[in-house]
Amino acid sequence: MTSIANGAGAAPPPMIVLSGLSKVFQGPNGPVNALSDIDIEIGRGEVFGVIGRSGAGKSTLLRCLNLLERPTMGTVTVAGRDLTRLDRSGLNAARREIGMIFQHFNLLAGRTVYDNVALPLELAGADRATIARTVPPLLDLVGLSERANYYPRSLSGGQKQRVGIARALATNPKVLLCDEATSALDPETTLSILKLLDKLKRELGLTIVLITHEMSVIKEIADRVAVIDGGRIVEQGRVYDVLSRPREAVTRALVGEVMGHLVPDDLAERLAGRVPGGALWRILFIGEAGYEPVISELARRFDIDLNLVHGRIETIQGEPFGSLVVNVIGSEAKLRQALGYLKIRHLDVEEIGHVVRDDRAVS
Amino acid sequence: MSSAMIALFLDALWETLGMVGAAGLIATVVGLPLGVILLTTAKGHIFAHAGVNRALGFVVNATRSTPFVILMVAIIPFTRAVVGTSIGTAAAVVPLTIAAIPFIARLFEQAMREIDPGLIEALQAMGATRLQIVRKVLIPEALPGLVAAVTVTLVSLIGYSAMAGAIGGGGLGDLGIRYGYQRFLPEVMLAVVVVLIVLVQFVQSAGDALVRRFSRK
Ligand SMILES: Nc1ncnc2c1ncn2[C@@H]1O[C@H](COP(=O)(O)OP(=O)(O)OP(=O)(O)O)[C@@H](O)[C@H]1O
Ligand SMILES: [Mg+2]
């Protein structure tokens, strides 16, 4: 059918498709539009991050993916099946293919680590032999074989989340939903959990959707990211692109927390006012260009002065990314030539501030 | 105390244990599903149903707010229909059970309400049916609280059984009234009180020990 029509090179169908998704809650002060018109496609084996401020609608969005929250409008298609059209038992079956982990782990206190991981199998009606075959390799995978007979209360936060992950994987799901899965953990433990998720993606081909308010989490493991604000997706794309060139103010604020390459507006204004005859540029070094000695070359070729105001080099998913804020001083013509040269070199330059010749500052 | 008196005492103790045990057992068995229904039919819960929730809540509250002595008398026809008589130990079990069911159902409901809603959500995300949520989370995770509820109920039943005994129900209360009050043997009255205190203490400590045993928090 469609696969033939699309030919051999057709992209595989996405794992998750959200289409026209809206959610309205009836709050005490009238209806709350928690989600409006969300369209997202998530590919197989992709790590997709959703980031936003508190109250932006992240949790609601994630909970719509397994219908813990039923959308007011729109469809949720996972592995080709529209969940909103399933009856109760169909939905329960579909949910076994969608694992979920939580900020506060949600482990059963009365069950050992082993029995917590066995729980989804029990629910699915697996017999003892199947459980005994399935659970130990999962505990091994998350590095908790030694702790099989412990109760959750005697585990650290990171260990609890590992149990949560093993439990979510017990029914061999295709998708893993992570609701602020590392927000209750310290930075080091966060990193180890993210490494584990990355391993699951590579070894099991798992599709992972994670929501977070921390850009560092997105930067660490996501392939693509959607920025949500006021219940709407305001920006989405490859993590590298969104982090290196954020378009929206919300995104800039969130990116600034990890990248620090955005000069705060007030600082930019002040700097702009104090550079007679010069300009303030932000130069982005994207990809391989990150390693090139551009500054000294500019100074030599165009006979202009460059003062470094702020600079930083980062890697996002192994690709180098740098940003420099420089105060350039020289004649208008030379500056224009230099700007042209940077453009030819495919460097991204943004004029943050500029001072015209008669010293009347504009910005 | 004479050996005849001791024999009477043992009989009375045995009757009290029988009444409390039978009423406690039936109340637990009936009260647990009622507690589950009270909790899960509430708004936003897994079996949300306003009508059932309100109706059951009303019956439970009405029964609980009826003084036990009045309840006992009021249901005499029912008691007679069930056990064939309105006096004696077996007859006392009926009002004790009727009074204990709503009492323990509320306590069960409260114990299960303490469970983190995140656990229910986790089970839903795993594709658990609603009955599985009851069996795998609500009851086992609330076990310490449920045991504590049974303990409180048994202790209350010991007190009520003495009251039931006082109006012809047998047991320690009956003994205390007949010998201690009517025949004016204060030492019997005192002994009854002491035995009741010891009994309550015993039930309470056993219950507490079980709660600790099941507690994994
Ligand atoms: N059950 C509910 N009833 C009414 N309003 C709700 C409900 N759940 C969420 N909301 C509202 O919907 C909006 C989005 O909430 P949501 O929990 O999805 O935000 P979030 O991005 O996850 O925030 P946080 O980072 O604080 O967890 C908020 O305004 C919230 O008050
Ligand atoms: Mg949230």
Give A343's pLDDT tier (boundaries 50, 70, 90): confident
B contact test, residue of A89, A92, A163 with most B CBs within 10 A: A92
The residue-averaged pLDDT of A334-344 equals: 85
Of A66, A104, A122, the CB nearest to B125: A66
CB pairs under 8 A, 24+ apart, for A316-319?
A316/A219, A316/A239, A316/A240, A316/A243, A316/A244, A317/A219, A317/A223, A317/A239, A317/A240, A319/A240, A319/A286, A319/A287
Query: In this predicted complex, what is the ipTM?
Result: 0.89
Task: Tell which one of A21, A22, A32, A54 to mutate to probe ligand 1, the residue whose CB is within 8 A of the most ligand atoms.
Answer: A32
Of residues B127, B132, B217, nearest to A93 (C-beta): B127
Question: Is the CB of A56 inside a 6 Å radius of any atom of ligand 1?
Answer: yes
Beta bridge partners of A353: A280
Predicted pLDDT of residue A259: 65
- Chain B (104-123) residues lying within 8 Å, Cβ to Cβ, of chain A: 116, 118-119, 121-123
Confidence of residue A362 (pLDDT cuts 50, 70, 90): very low
Q: C-alpha distances in angstroms, A234 versus A210, A245, B126, B195?
A: 17, 14, 31, 74
- Residue among B118, B132, B140 minimizing CB distance to A123: B132
Chain B CB contacts of A171 below 8 Å = 126-127
Nearest CA in chain A to B135: A123
User: Which ligand has an atom closest to residue A50 CA?
Assistant: 1
Residues 143 through 162 of chain A touching chain B, CB cutoff 8 Å: 151-153
Quick check: A358 pLDDT over 60?
no
C-alpha–C-alpha distance, residues A70 and A83, integer Å: 10
Distance from the alpha carbon of residue A72 to the mean position of ligand 1, in angstroms: 15
Compute the distance from residue A227 Cα to the ligand 1 centre, in Å: 16
Q: What are phi and psi of B142, to 5 degrees?
A: -95, 5
Residue of B nearest to A104 (CA): B118
Residues with CB under 5 A from ligand 2 (ion): A 59
Give me chain A's average pLDDT, please.
Answer: 86
Contact of B127 with chain A, judged by CB distance below 8 Å, is answered with: yes
Q: Is A9 in the pocket of ligand 1 (CB under 6 A)?
A: no
pLDDT (tens, 9 = 90+) of chain B, 217 residues, equals 688 888 988 999 999 999 999 999 999 999 999 999 999 999 999 999 999 999 999 999 999 999 998 998 899 999 999 998 888 888 999 999 999 999 999 999 999 999 999 999 999 999 999 999 999 999 999 999 999 999 999 999 999 998 887 777 788 888 888 887 788 888 888 888 999 999 999 999 999 999 999 997 7
Cβ burial, residue A256 (10 Å; 0-12/13-18/19+): middle
pTM value?
0.85
The contacts of residue A106 (CB under 8 Å, 6+ apart) are A164, B116, B118, B119, B121, B122
Pick the residue whose CA is nearest to atom 16 on ligand 1: A57
pLDDT for the residue numbered A354? 57
Cβ–Cβ below 8 Å for A109 and B141: yes
Nearest CA in chain B to A63: B125
pLDDT in the model for residue A263: 59
Stretch A265-294: mean pLDDT: 66
